[in-house]
Chains A and B, each alone.
Chain A
Amino acid sequence: DIVMTQSPLSLPVTPGEPASISCRSSQSLLQRNGYNYLDWYLQKPGQSPQLLIYLGSYRASGVPDRFSGSGSGTDFTLKISRVEAEDVGVYYCMQALQPPFAFGPGTKVDIK
């Protein structure tokens, strides 16, 4: 099974400042079709998760452009160019290459 790790697990942020979360997979998520099967989700307190980024770098509809995803193979990064107060919550990466799909442990983002 593919194992996902994230760092850091806790990230205090200052509004207006950038933030970055790293995600690693135990095997490459790059498919022959050129897509990386890696998604990012944000779970705000008390809510269902919401999709931010799919296929490594594609922003989901309605997601602000301050969110971006990058990386390939086994190493991926989610960046927030300028954090806003509404961005607090837990961020998860998920490998979507093969079942069992697996989430990372989550990165809790809160305001300093």
Chain B
Amino acid sequence: QVQLVQSGAEVKKPGASVKVSCKASGYSFTGYSIHWVRQALGQGLEWMGRINPNSGGTDSAQKFQGRVTVTRDTSINTAYMELTSLRSDDTAVYYCARAQSMTDPGEYFHHWGQGTLVTVSS
């Protein structure tokens, strides 16, 4: 069965960087894009970026002004989201999500990781 297992909780200081991993199993990793969505505590969902694991092509939300980088390592079926220059308002749960087959229309996420809490505090 499809599984997305994320790395554990992190505590970072303002100005630092964090890299969250998302290990995929149960399907062909290169056939489905991986997206990153975050949720500040008590707040709504916010899309951050995506990667095509086959080509390595990415898109990310301009809101993050180049602070977010999405990468992948196809040898270990893992996607990564790195966020730099952390601020207190980056404190949130970060989710990875797998989209449907890239040959199908739309973009929808049937499979989600368990979430990774990133706390930014001095």
- B-binding residues in A (CB < 8 A): 1, 31, 33, 35, 37, 39, 41, 43, 48-51, 54-55, 60-61, 90, 92, 94, 96, 99-106
Known contacts A49-B112, A103-B44, then 5 further A-B pairs from the complex at CB < 8 Å, ordered by chain A residue:
A1-B62, A37-B106, A49-B37, A49-B97, A100-B62
Distance to closest chain B CB from A25 (angstroms) = 14
Query: Which of A33, A43, A100 touches B63 (beta carbons < 8 Å)?
Result: A100
A43-B45, A100-B47, A105-B44 in contact; A51/B108 too (CB < 8 A)?
yes
Contact B61 A99 (CB under 8 A): yes
Most B C-beta atoms less than 10 A away, residue of A1, A43, A101, A104: A101
**Residues of A contacting B62 in the complex (Cβ-Cβ under 8 angstroms):** 1, 100
Contact A92 B44 (CB under 8 A): yes
Tell me if B46 counts as interface (CB < 8 A to partner A). Answer: yes
- Annotate B87-122 by CB proximity to A: 1 below 8 A, 0 otherwise: 000000001010010000111111011110000000
Contact A54 B106 (CB under 8 A): yes
The reply to whether A101 and B105 contact each other, CB–CB distance below 8 Å, is no
Shortest Cβ distance from B45 into A: residue: A103
Among A39, A61, A100, point to the contact of B106 (Cβ < 8 A).
A39
Whether A100 contacts B61 by the Cβ 8 Å rule is yes
List 22 A–B pairs whose Cβ atoms lie within 8 Å, in order of A's numbering: A1-B62, A31-B105, A37-B107, A39-B107, A41-B45, A41-B109, A43-B45, A48-B115, A49-B45, A49-B95, A54-B100, A54-B106, A54-B108, A96-B108, A99-B47, A100-B47, A101-B35, A101-B47, A103-B37, A103-B47, A105-B44, A106-B44
Provide the residues of chain B in CB contact with A103, threshold 8 Å: 37, 44-47
* Cα–Cα, bound, A90→B32 (Å): 26
